[in-house]
Chain A
Protein backbone atom coordinates (compact mmCIF):
# COMPACT_ATOMS: atom_id res chain seq x y z
CA UNK A 1 0.00 0.00 0.00
CA UNK A 2 1.59 3.30 -1.05
CA UNK A 3 1.70 5.99 1.60
CA UNK A 4 1.07 9.61 0.66
CA UNK A 5 2.24 12.39 2.92
CA UNK A 6 -0.26 14.57 4.74
CA UNK A 7 2.09 17.55 4.53
CA UNK A 8 0.89 20.27 2.11
CA UNK A 9 3.12 23.30 2.45
CA UNK A 10 1.81 26.66 1.29
CA UNK A 11 1.78 30.24 2.50
CA UNK A 12 -1.02 29.77 5.02
CA UNK A 13 0.50 26.60 6.52
CA UNK A 14 3.80 28.46 6.85
CA UNK A 15 1.99 31.27 8.68
CA UNK A 16 0.33 28.71 10.89
CA UNK A 17 3.72 27.22 11.72
CA UNK A 18 4.97 30.67 12.77
CA UNK A 19 1.91 31.11 14.92
CA UNK A 20 2.29 27.75 16.71
CA UNK A 21 5.98 28.47 17.39
CA UNK A 22 5.03 31.79 18.97
CA UNK A 23 2.23 30.14 20.95
CA UNK A 24 4.61 27.40 22.15
CA UNK A 25 7.15 30.00 23.31
CA UNK A 26 4.43 31.95 25.12
CA UNK A 27 3.20 28.82 26.92
CA UNK A 28 6.72 27.72 27.89
CA UNK A 29 7.53 31.27 29.08
CA UNK A 30 4.63 31.22 31.55
CA UNK A 31 5.45 27.70 32.69
CA UNK A 32 8.46 29.18 34.42
CA UNK A 33 6.40 31.60 36.52
CA UNK A 34 9.30 32.96 38.61
CA UNK A 35 11.28 33.80 35.50
CA UNK A 36 8.23 35.34 33.87
CA UNK A 37 7.46 37.52 36.89
CA UNK A 38 11.09 38.60 37.27
CA UNK A 39 10.95 39.85 33.69
CA UNK A 40 8.33 42.32 34.87
CA UNK A 41 10.75 43.73 37.44
CA UNK A 42 13.80 43.88 35.17
CA UNK A 43 13.04 47.35 33.73
CA UNK A 44 12.70 48.76 37.26
CA UNK A 45 15.93 47.10 38.35
CA UNK A 46 17.91 48.43 35.38
CA UNK A 47 16.54 51.95 35.59
CA UNK A 48 17.14 52.34 39.34
CA UNK A 49 20.92 53.02 39.19
CA UNK A 50 20.28 55.62 36.47
CA UNK A 51 17.59 57.24 38.61
CA UNK A 52 19.73 57.47 41.71
CA UNK A 53 22.73 58.56 39.68
CA UNK A 54 20.55 61.33 38.34
CA UNK A 55 19.81 62.32 41.93
CA UNK A 56 23.56 62.57 42.55
CA UNK A 57 23.72 65.09 39.70
CA UNK A 58 20.68 67.02 40.92
CA UNK A 59 20.04 69.86 43.33
CA UNK A 60 16.55 70.07 44.81
CA UNK A 61 15.32 67.57 42.29
CA UNK A 62 16.65 69.51 39.32
CA UNK A 63 19.35 68.10 37.01
CA UNK A 64 20.56 71.44 35.72
CA UNK A 65 23.39 70.01 33.65
CA UNK A 66 21.02 67.66 31.83
CA UNK A 67 18.56 70.47 31.25
CA UNK A 68 21.05 72.53 29.25
Chain B
Protein backbone atom coordinates (compact mmCIF):
# COMPACT_ATOMS: atom_id res chain seq x y z
CA UNK B 1 0.00 0.00 0.00
CA UNK B 2 1.38 3.44 -0.95
CA UNK B 3 2.06 5.69 2.03
CA UNK B 4 -0.68 8.30 2.25
CA UNK B 5 1.06 10.77 4.53
CA UNK B 6 2.26 14.03 3.10
CA UNK B 7 5.75 14.85 4.37
CA UNK B 8 4.48 18.33 5.28
CA UNK B 9 3.73 19.04 8.89
CA UNK B 10 0.50 20.84 9.91
CA UNK B 11 2.54 23.46 11.73
CA UNK B 12 2.77 26.92 10.17
CA UNK B 13 5.56 28.89 11.83
CA UNK B 14 5.35 32.68 11.95
CA UNK B 15 4.80 35.64 14.29
CA UNK B 16 1.08 34.97 14.67
CA UNK B 17 1.63 31.35 15.59
CA UNK B 18 4.39 32.36 18.02
CA UNK B 19 1.93 34.76 19.67
CA UNK B 20 -0.72 32.05 19.75
CA UNK B 21 1.76 29.67 21.40
CA UNK B 22 2.57 32.37 23.96
CA UNK B 23 -1.15 32.85 24.61
CA UNK B 24 -1.55 29.09 25.02
CA UNK B 25 1.12 29.07 27.76
CA UNK B 26 -0.68 31.90 29.59
CA UNK B 27 -4.02 30.14 29.28
CA UNK B 28 -2.57 26.83 30.47
CA UNK B 29 -1.01 28.46 33.53
CA UNK B 30 -4.21 30.27 34.43
CA UNK B 31 -6.35 27.14 34.11
CA UNK B 32 -3.99 25.06 36.25
CA UNK B 33 -3.74 27.85 38.85
CA UNK B 34 -7.50 28.09 39.25
CA UNK B 35 -7.88 24.30 39.55
CA UNK B 36 -6.13 24.32 42.91
CA UNK B 37 -8.90 25.95 44.99
CA UNK B 38 -6.60 26.74 47.93
CA UNK B 39 -5.31 29.77 46.00
CA UNK B 40 -8.37 31.68 47.21
CA UNK B 41 -7.43 31.08 50.83
CA UNK B 42 -3.82 32.05 50.16
CA UNK B 43 -4.92 35.28 48.49
CA UNK B 44 -7.12 36.29 51.44
CA UNK B 45 -5.00 35.13 54.37
CA UNK B 46 -1.39 35.85 53.34
CA UNK B 47 -1.80 39.61 52.76
CA UNK B 48 -2.84 39.81 56.43
CA UNK B 49 -0.50 37.40 58.18
CA UNK B 50 2.96 38.62 57.22
CA UNK B 51 2.51 42.37 57.85
CA UNK B 52 0.66 41.72 61.14
CA UNK B 53 3.88 40.49 62.72
CA UNK B 54 5.46 43.90 62.21
CA UNK B 55 2.31 45.95 62.79
CA UNK B 56 1.76 44.39 66.20
CA UNK B 57 5.45 44.86 67.03
CA UNK B 58 5.15 48.50 66.01
CA UNK B 59 2.09 48.85 68.23
CA UNK B 60 4.06 47.47 71.13
CA UNK B 61 6.93 49.83 70.37
CA UNK B 62 4.51 52.76 70.25
CA UNK B 63 3.51 52.12 73.84
CA UNK B 64 0.04 52.23 75.35
CA UNK B 65 -0.17 56.01 74.96
CA UNK B 66 1.37 56.02 71.48
CA UNK B 67 4.34 58.11 72.63
CA UNK B 68 6.81 55.92 70.74
CA UNK B 69 4.96 56.81 67.59
CA UNK B 70 6.16 60.41 67.77
CA UNK B 71 9.74 59.23 67.45
CA UNK B 72 8.77 57.01 64.53
CA UNK B 73 7.08 59.89 62.73
CA UNK B 74 10.13 62.08 63.27
CA UNK B 75 12.44 59.35 61.96
CA UNK B 76 10.43 58.25 58.96
CA UNK B 77 8.30 61.27 58.10
CA UNK B 78 5.33 58.89 57.92
CA UNK B 79 2.20 59.57 59.97
CA UNK B 80 0.60 56.25 59.07
CA UNK B 81 2.93 53.57 60.44
CA UNK B 82 0.65 50.75 59.32
CA UNK B 83 0.61 51.96 55.72
CA UNK B 84 4.35 52.50 55.94
CA UNK B 85 4.92 48.90 57.00
CA UNK B 86 2.42 47.41 54.54
CA UNK B 87 4.19 48.96 51.56
CA UNK B 88 7.48 47.37 52.64
CA UNK B 89 6.03 43.97 53.43
CA UNK B 90 3.99 43.91 50.21
CA UNK B 91 7.14 44.52 48.15
CA UNK B 92 8.88 41.75 50.07
CA UNK B 93 5.95 39.39 49.46
CA UNK B 94 5.93 40.33 45.78
CA UNK B 95 9.59 39.46 45.33
CA UNK B 96 9.24 36.36 47.48
CA UNK B 97 6.25 35.05 45.51
CA UNK B 98 7.93 35.77 42.17
CA UNK B 99 11.03 33.83 43.27
CA UNK B 100 8.96 30.81 44.32
CA UNK B 101 6.44 31.03 41.47
CA UNK B 102 8.30 32.26 38.38
CA UNK B 103 11.62 31.13 39.86
CA UNK B 104 10.46 27.55 40.12
CA UNK B 105 8.25 27.51 37.01
CA UNK B 106 10.65 25.51 34.91
CA UNK B 107 11.81 23.36 37.81
CA UNK B 108 8.21 22.41 38.64
CA UNK B 109 7.64 21.46 35.01
CA UNK B 110 10.85 19.44 35.15
CA UNK B 111 9.70 17.54 38.24
CA UNK B 112 6.25 16.98 36.77
CA UNK B 113 7.81 15.62 33.56
CA UNK B 114 6.20 18.16 31.25
CA UNK B 115 9.31 20.26 30.64
CA UNK B 116 10.61 17.80 28.06
CA UNK B 117 7.38 17.74 26.07
CA UNK B 118 7.32 21.55 26.03
CA UNK B 119 10.98 21.70 25.00
CA UNK B 120 10.31 19.33 22.11
CA UNK B 121 8.00 21.83 20.43
CA UNK B 122 9.35 24.36 17.90
CA UNK B 123 8.13 27.34 19.98
CA UNK B 124 10.51 30.05 21.18
CA UNK B 125 11.65 28.67 24.53
CA UNK B 126 11.52 31.93 26.49
CA UNK B 127 7.73 31.91 25.90
CA UNK B 128 7.43 29.39 28.71
CA UNK B 129 8.75 31.87 31.26
CA UNK B 130 7.08 34.92 29.74
CA UNK B 131 3.78 33.08 29.45
CA UNK B 132 4.01 31.94 33.05
CA UNK B 133 4.56 35.56 34.10
CA UNK B 134 1.23 36.74 32.68
CA UNK B 135 -1.09 34.96 35.13
CA UNK B 136 1.44 35.58 37.89
CA UNK B 137 1.17 39.35 37.41
CA UNK B 138 -2.62 39.10 37.48
CA UNK B 139 -2.62 37.06 40.70
CA UNK B 140 -0.09 39.47 42.23
CA UNK B 141 -2.29 42.43 41.29
CA UNK B 142 -5.19 40.66 43.04
CA UNK B 143 -2.93 40.11 46.07
CA UNK B 144 -2.05 43.80 46.24
CA UNK B 145 -5.65 44.91 45.80
CA UNK B 146 -6.82 42.52 48.53
CA UNK B 147 -4.05 43.82 50.81
CA UNK B 148 -5.22 47.39 50.26
CA UNK B 149 -8.87 46.44 50.84
CA UNK B 150 -8.19 44.37 53.97
CA UNK B 151 -6.02 46.98 55.66
CA UNK B 152 -8.35 49.72 54.54
CA UNK B 153 -11.26 47.96 56.22
CA UNK B 154 -9.45 46.69 59.32
CA UNK B 155 -7.05 49.54 60.07
CA UNK B 156 -8.36 52.47 58.05
CA UNK B 157 -5.26 52.64 55.85
CA UNK B 158 -5.86 55.11 53.03
CA UNK B 159 -3.86 56.24 50.01
CA UNK B 160 -3.39 60.00 50.40
CA UNK B 161 -1.39 60.41 47.22
CA UNK B 162 -2.15 59.52 43.64
CA UNK B 163 -3.29 55.98 42.96
CA UNK B 164 -2.11 56.37 39.37
CA UNK B 165 1.40 57.29 40.48
CA UNK B 166 1.40 54.26 42.72
CA UNK B 167 0.41 52.03 39.81
CA UNK B 168 3.06 53.66 37.62
CA UNK B 169 5.74 52.92 40.22
CA UNK B 170 4.68 49.29 40.44
CA UNK B 171 4.66 48.95 36.66
CA UNK B 172 8.16 50.40 36.56
CA UNK B 173 9.27 47.70 39.01
CA UNK B 174 8.01 44.79 36.92
CA UNK B 175 11.15 44.43 34.75
CA UNK B 176 13.44 44.29 37.81
CA UNK B 177 11.31 41.96 39.92
CA UNK B 178 10.53 39.55 37.10
CA UNK B 179 13.96 39.82 35.46
CA UNK B 180 15.40 38.51 38.71
CA UNK B 181 12.76 35.76 38.61
CA UNK B 182 13.82 34.78 35.06
CA UNK B 183 17.48 34.58 36.05
CA UNK B 184 16.53 32.50 39.04
CA UNK B 185 14.29 30.19 37.01
CA UNK B 186 17.15 29.46 34.67
CA UNK B 187 19.67 28.75 37.42
CA UNK B 188 17.28 26.53 39.36
CA UNK B 189 17.24 23.97 36.54
CA UNK B 190 20.86 23.13 37.22
CA UNK B 191 21.30 24.17 40.87
CA UNK B 192 20.18 21.49 43.29
CA UNK B 193 19.73 23.67 46.38
CA UNK B 194 17.58 26.41 44.95
CA UNK B 195 15.68 26.98 48.22
CA UNK B 196 18.81 28.39 49.83
CA UNK B 197 19.05 31.02 47.11
CA UNK B 198 15.44 32.09 47.57
CA UNK B 199 16.12 32.50 51.28
CA UNK B 200 19.26 34.50 50.48
CA UNK B 201 17.62 36.92 48.04
CA UNK B 202 14.54 37.56 50.12
CA UNK B 203 16.79 37.80 53.16
CA UNK B 204 18.74 40.59 51.47
CA UNK B 205 15.49 42.43 50.72
CA UNK B 206 14.37 41.96 54.31
CA UNK B 207 17.58 43.32 55.82
CA UNK B 208 18.66 46.02 53.38
CA UNK B 209 15.61 47.48 51.67
CA UNK B 210 13.87 49.11 54.61
CA UNK B 211 10.69 47.07 54.61
CA UNK B 212 9.75 48.28 58.09
CA UNK B 213 12.19 51.12 58.66
CA UNK B 214 13.87 53.92 56.70
CA UNK B 215 17.12 52.91 55.02
CA UNK B 216 18.72 55.98 56.60
CA UNK B 217 18.74 54.16 59.94
CA UNK B 218 21.11 51.50 58.63
CA UNK B 219 24.87 51.76 59.20
CA UNK B 220 26.82 53.35 56.33
CA UNK B 221 28.00 50.13 54.72
CA UNK B 222 24.49 48.67 54.76
CA UNK B 223 23.06 51.84 53.20
CA UNK B 224 25.67 51.60 50.46
CA UNK B 225 24.68 47.99 49.79
CA UNK B 226 20.98 48.82 49.78
CA UNK B 227 21.55 51.14 46.80
CA UNK B 228 22.30 48.03 44.71
CA UNK B 229 18.89 46.51 45.33
CA UNK B 230 16.00 47.72 43.11
CA UNK B 231 13.50 46.91 45.88
CA UNK B 232 14.98 49.77 47.93
CA UNK B 233 13.90 52.30 45.30
CA UNK B 234 10.57 50.57 44.80
CA UNK B 235 9.64 50.74 48.49
CA UNK B 236 10.76 54.36 48.78
CA UNK B 237 8.85 55.40 45.65
CA UNK B 238 5.69 53.52 46.63
CA UNK B 239 5.63 55.21 50.05
CA UNK B 240 6.15 58.59 48.45
CA UNK B 241 3.45 58.03 45.83
CA UNK B 242 0.92 56.53 48.26
CA UNK B 243 1.28 58.78 51.30
CA UNK B 244 2.94 62.06 50.31
CA UNK B 245 1.23 62.83 46.99
CA UNK B 246 4.58 62.83 45.20
CA UNK B 247 4.39 63.60 41.49
CA UNK B 248 6.47 62.26 38.63
CA UNK B 249 9.20 64.84 39.22
CA UNK B 250 9.65 63.84 42.85
CA UNK B 251 9.60 60.17 41.99
CA UNK B 252 12.26 60.37 39.27
CA UNK B 253 15.24 59.84 41.61
CA UNK B 254 13.73 56.44 42.44
CA UNK B 255 12.18 55.58 39.07
CA UNK B 256 15.36 56.04 37.07
CA UNK B 257 17.47 53.56 39.08
CA UNK B 258 14.46 51.23 39.28
CA UNK B 259 14.06 51.15 35.51
CA UNK B 260 17.82 50.88 35.02
CA UNK B 261 17.90 47.84 37.28
CA UNK B 262 14.92 46.57 35.32
CA UNK B 263 16.84 46.73 32.06
CA UNK B 264 19.82 45.06 33.72
CA UNK B 265 17.81 42.24 35.25
CA UNK B 266 15.80 41.59 32.09
CA UNK B 267 19.00 41.32 30.08
CA UNK B 268 20.60 39.19 32.81
CA UNK B 269 17.48 37.04 33.05
CA UNK B 270 17.32 36.41 29.31
CA UNK B 271 21.07 35.80 29.05
CA UNK B 272 20.94 33.34 31.92
CA UNK B 273 18.05 31.60 30.21
CA UNK B 274 20.01 31.26 26.97
CA UNK B 275 22.98 29.93 28.89
CA UNK B 276 20.78 27.43 30.70
CA UNK B 277 19.16 26.28 27.46
CA UNK B 278 22.53 25.63 25.88
CA UNK B 279 23.88 23.90 28.96
CA UNK B 280 20.76 21.78 29.30
CA UNK B 281 21.23 20.50 25.75
CA UNK B 282 24.76 19.49 26.60
CA UNK B 283 23.99 17.80 29.91
CA UNK B 284 20.44 16.54 29.31
CA UNK B 285 19.19 18.52 32.33
CA UNK B 286 15.73 19.04 30.81
CA UNK B 287 14.72 15.44 31.35
CA UNK B 288 16.36 15.04 34.73
CA UNK B 289 14.29 15.05 37.88
A residues near B (Cβ < 8 Å) are 32-35, 37-38, 41-42, 45-46, 48-50, 52-59, 63-68
Contact = CB atoms under 8 A, between A and B. Distances in A.
B193 interface: yes
B57 interface: yes
B111 interface: no
B6 to A, nearest CB: 52
Nearest to B70: A65
A56 B200 contact: no
A66 B214 CA distance: 19
A46 B62 contact: no
Given A38-B200, A52-B217, A66 B68 contact: yes
Given A56-B213, A64-B67, A68-B64, A49 B54 contact: yes
A41 B200 CA distance: 9
Given A57-B61, A58-B71, A68-B63, A49 B213 contact: yes
A57 B193 contact: no
Nearest to B59: A65
Instruction: Give the interface residue-count category, chain B.
Output: 35 or more
A55 B62 CA distance: 12
| Chain A interface, DSSP helix/strand/loop, else mixed | helix
Interface of B: 54, 57-58, 60-69, 71-72, 75-76, 85, 88, 192-193, 195-197, 199-200, 203, 206-207, 210-214, 217-218
Given A35-B196, A57-B72, A50 B57 contact: yes
A45 B195 contact: no
B199 A45 contact: yes
B206 A48 contact: yes
Contacts of B60: 66
Contacts of B62: 57, 65
Report the 9 A-B pairs with minimum CB-CB distance, sorted nearest first. A65-B68, A65-B63, A34-B196, A57-B61, A45-B203, A52-B213, A53-B212, A34-B193, A68-B63
B212 A49 contact: yes
18 contacts: A32-B195, A32-B196, A34-B193, A35-B195, A38-B195, A49-B88, A50-B57, A52-B210, A52-B213, A53-B54, A55-B217, A56-B213, A56-B214, A56-B217, A57-B58, A65-B65, A66-B61, A66-B63
